[in-house]
Structure 1
Amino acid sequence: MSDVNAQFVQAQEDVQQLTERPGNLTLLRLYALFKQATEGDVHGDKPGFTDIVGKYKYDAWAALKGTAEDTAKTQYVELVESLKSGAAS
């Protein structure tokens, strides 16, 4: 397992142990980075207007279109580290 993959797996565990729940925008960023890192570019139909949460998730993931898997993993790790240190919310 590469160093980036190991850090990504550790960050997934660390994010579950945060003492404070991140804000909604940060949660969307975590979601989008995770999806980009694990599944690549967004796929499937965009949810309709009745599924507000699904629409926001889709849009956040779609904004990362073209981002390399390792880049998304690195950004995810960096975001989790900033949450652990209290620099982000």
Structure 2
Amino acid sequence: MADTKAAFEQAQKDVKTLTKRPGNEDMLFLYAHFKQAAEGDVKGSRPGMLDMVGRAKYDAWAKLKGTKADDAMKKYVDKVATLLKSHK
């Protein structure tokens, strides 16, 4: 777990070095996996219809319900590695 946590923390730094912004699907993937790893299952109520961004983020995170933090960290790290390869 310590290695995974260190890789996760490094990936958070690395993602900020991307030369161009990832697409919306990739951004939602990163957001949801980060939140699942950091906070666990989604909390609170789903945002209303008019908050489309908040709703998309909530829904992406909610899909990961029950995912272990370690698994979410690994998938986040893998996605950042893929983005780094394709955006540099």
The bucket for the TM-score relative to the shorter chain is over 0.9
How many residues end up aligned between the 2 structures? 87
Which residue in 2 is equivalent to 1:33?
Answer: 33
Equivalent AA in structure 2 for residue 81 of structure 1:
A
TM-score (normalizing by structure 1)? 0.95
Percent of aligned positions that are identical: 56
Q: Deviations over 1:31-55 (max 9, x none)?
A: 0000000000001010000100000
Structure 1, unaligned runs of 5 or more:
none
Equivalent AA in structure 2 for residue 54 of structure 1:
G
Runs of 4+ aligned structure 1 residues displaced above 2 Å come to: none
Which residue in 2 is equivalent to 1:14?
Answer: 14
Which residue in 2 is equivalent to 1:56?
Answer: 56
Equivalent AA in structure 2 for residue 45 of structure 1:
S
Q: What's the C-alpha RMSD, in Å, of the aligned pairs?
A: 1.2
Counterparts of 1:59-78 in structure 2, within 5 Å, are: 59-78=59-78
Equivalent AA in structure 1 for residue 48 of structure 2:
G
Structure 2, unaligned runs of 5 or more:
none
